[in-house]
Structure 1
């Protein structure tokens, strides 16, 4: 099996990869910049040399046209001048210039690159060291003026510049790479602090928080997000411990009752013990355990999925009528129903109504009212009892798991305190909300669910 060519790269540290990538990009940029610099500088120097030679050639051509040209030609800046007549013979030159051989052959003069543009000529052929930059200008009466300037000093300057760039660019690259290594290291230092802080957090020390850097950057946002996650995990762990503790407490009572009844029954002779009465007591406690287990399983499923097990249109009007019809009509009254359809699980929504009605019937004095209304894109189900009510300070607390008020705890059929918790989690899973209000007297439970579509043709009772 062929090895992954990028495996070695992936195994390197983030600091190394960032530095290497930045250095590679910087090396390409520096090489391109150096090449561009040499090219632009060379073209500028060539253009400057051609410009001076062309200017001198134009001056000499003007003197020749006026008949004022001297021999030798006097040029102060070292430009070499050759003046040729119409037959290609050299008639005038600067001091020291060749009088026999033109710097540019007749064929090359005929194919001049353009007015003011020069060409390179090897100066060694004419006893002049280094290359020459030659410009040809045509004058009157077929005369031709050739102006040449030595390019040796310019070429030496370009060579020196190239050598400096060849030596200096790698040194600059190394210097910038080292600076990048240090800067990236300091930039990644908060991440290292986060890693060390995370390593110090154990399963029993989640109250610790990761260090938050001062800089308002992505690392700070990451630290804040991770601390928020730790807080949520800590809260979930505390909630789980409380749930286990409360569940154990709730299980202890029926189990202790079952054990006591069985011990009493076994401690008496068979003819003196009423086994039917003992069986009824054990069955009651067993049913209590069953309801508790069912409630815990329901909450566990809601915590795991956070959404309905099935999503289908649910006719709330029909569900309210069917569920309320299971109770004593003298106690539970339907005061109003409007057509309303929601998306969700009919069994879960039916359990919500059953829990609310059971709770209302348990605490009601004489009457429980059920109502369904469709308002502003939401279905609103209210269950109102005329019981003693719930203090305002406790109306939110009763939705917590295993939370029962003192009046409920004193009653044998008060339940385990999971009913309203199941109601809230189920309604939230369906995208709704539930709250308790004062009914004066009594309590009104209000459930709001988003409507899916109306059910046409349903009459109000």
Structure 2
């Protein structure tokens, strides 16, 4: 819009200047033609030796006849008989063919005069015929035109800007609606699509095309989820069978230490399959948890702590007050358990699990004294199958899905999960922020 208004402004300036210049030239030419016509008539009378005294004129013309000595030798009733209208230098300019504007006071008038001059008479007695026309009205009209242009042009620009703003805004409103809808839609569900405008224009075609693209993306994601879920589901049965056979072999003492070693790998595969199934279910349902339990945070932390009895480092639990949150109890337990598992896996000597209320939010914090993470790594670990230390992660059973699953489950409960610096002696803390349950 600014570019368009800039172009219109330039066009108006050029057009207005050209119009003003053309009008000025036309009026000046008309005045000069009239003055020169009268001057030639008077010159013809001088050449014929029939110059009357006073010289007859039409309208408000002022006529003077000046000799070579710059003396007034004739003129109209409206002219001064003693003082010429033009000085010597001005007379030379006028005789060269240019118009000269002089003050009206030289002819006892209140308006300026535009003077043209021609020569007449025999060669040995040449005189100059001066014809002046009052141009006060013309100058006033020009001033009024300039003021009008200076007032009208800004008003025209203001009106055009308002109209352009209105038109462009109404034109882009459907585009903004498409953008807002696209930002809102996750692309995982076919139920949510862009609103198609009623007008049959390019924006409608864009909306239809984007909806088709979203359908294709949703179908591709559905096929991907289905593949992951089916593959994970099909892997459960053979893994269960292998685990059973290995446990039997271990009890019977067959195979030496091989069954125990293979059981660790089977356990890791089983956790991976369960994580894949959970992610497939979470991705397939974008509406949030179906169950909405009132969860006591203290009880939730106690259950998670009980699951980690006898872990490689001690786990301390601290809960301030009796905060409550709303969400799926099993999903929240799984999310906190994944965070504690990760902290226990990397802690140096201890892990702390705390719950409290801060800024109208329930915060569940898992602290550990491990090596910590850099600022860049704290967001990368939430990407699926990400291991910052492959050797450490594999040897200790990490799948690279624990933190992504925890963040997905916390988000389904309406909360956030972040990794931040921890106060000494801790090195890193995972902070879960959930809305406080309403009093009722």
TM-score, reference length from structure 2: 0.52
The answer for the alignment partner of 1:42 in structure 2 is: 24
The answer for the alignment partner of 1:246 in structure 2 is: 230
- State the shift of 1:135 in Å: 0.3
Are residues 1:256 and 2:240 paired?
yes
The one of 160, 173, 177 equivalent to 1:189 is 173
Determine the C-alpha separation between the residues in 2 that align with 1:124 and 1:173. 42
Are residues 1:177 and 2:158 paired?
no
TM-score, reference length from structure 1: 0.49
The one of 43, 58, 61 equivalent to 2:43 is 61
Which secondary structure does the structure 1 equivalent of 2:115 belong to? strand
Determine the C-alpha separation between the residues in 1 that align with 2:231 and 2:95. 100
| 1:403-451 CA-partner distances (Å, limit 9, x unpaired) | xxxxxxxxxxxxxxxxxxxxxxxxxxxxxxxxxxxxxxxxxxxxxxxxx
| 1:319-364 CA-partner distances (Å, limit 9, x unpaired) | xxxxxxxxxxxxxxxxxxxxxxxxxxxxxxxxxxxxxxxxxxxxxx
The one of 87, 109, 114 equivalent to 1:133 is 114
Determine the C-alpha separation between the residues in 2 that align with 1:111 and 1:169. 38
The one of 178, 201, 220 equivalent to 2:185 is 201
- State the shift of 1:99 in Å: 1.3
Determine the C-alpha separation between the residues in 2 that align with 1:167 and 1:102. 41
Aligned residues of 1:207 and 1:234 also touching (Cα < 8 A): no
Q: 1:220 to 1:68 in 2, by over 3 A?
A: farther
The answer for the alignment partner of 1:168 in structure 2 is: 152
Moved over 6 A (4+): none
The answer for the alignment partner of 1:106 in structure 2 is: 88
The answer for the alignment partner of 1:90 in structure 2 is: 72
- State the shift of 1:151 in Å: 0.6
- State the shift of 1:204 in Å: 4.6
The answer for the alignment partner of 2:137 in structure 1 is: 153
The answer for the alignment partner of 1:120 in structure 2 is: 101
Which secondary structure does the structure 2 equivalent of 1:171 belong to? helix
Aligned residues of 1:78 and 1:149 also touching (Cα < 8 A): yes
- Trace 1:344-383 onto structure 2 (pairs within 5 A): none
- State the shift of 1:104 in Å: 1.4
- State the shift of 1:187 in Å: 1.6
- State the shift of 1:100 in Å: 1.3
Which secondary structure does the structure 2 equivalent of 1:210 belong to? coil
Gap runs ≥5 in structure 1: 1-17, 294-461
Q: 1:225 to 1:204 in 2, by over 3 A?
A: closer
Gap runs ≥5 in structure 2: 274-440
- State the shift of 1:77 in Å: 3.5
Are residues 1:72 and 2:17 paired?
no
- State the shift of 1:235 in Å: 2.6
Q: 1:113 to 1:233 in 2, by over 3 A?
A: farther
The answer for the alignment partner of 2:326 in structure 1 is: none
Q: 1:248 to 1:146 in 2, by over 3 A?
A: same
Aligned residues of 1:130 and 1:152 also touching (Cα < 8 A): yes
Aligned residues of 1:81 and 1:94 also touching (Cα < 8 A): yes
| 1:3-36 CA-partner distances (Å, limit 9, x unpaired) | xxxxxxxxxxxxxxx3x55445544543444344
- State the shift of 1:178 in Å: 1.3
Determine the C-alpha separation between the residues in 2 that align with 1:262 and 1:111. 121
User: Which has the higher mean CA deviation after the structures are superposed, 220-229 or 72-81?
Assistant: 220-229
The answer for the alignment partner of 1:312 in structure 2 is: none
The answer for the alignment partner of 1:442 in structure 2 is: none
- State the shift of 1:216 in Å: 4.2
Q: 1:140 to 1:113 in 2, by over 3 A?
A: closer
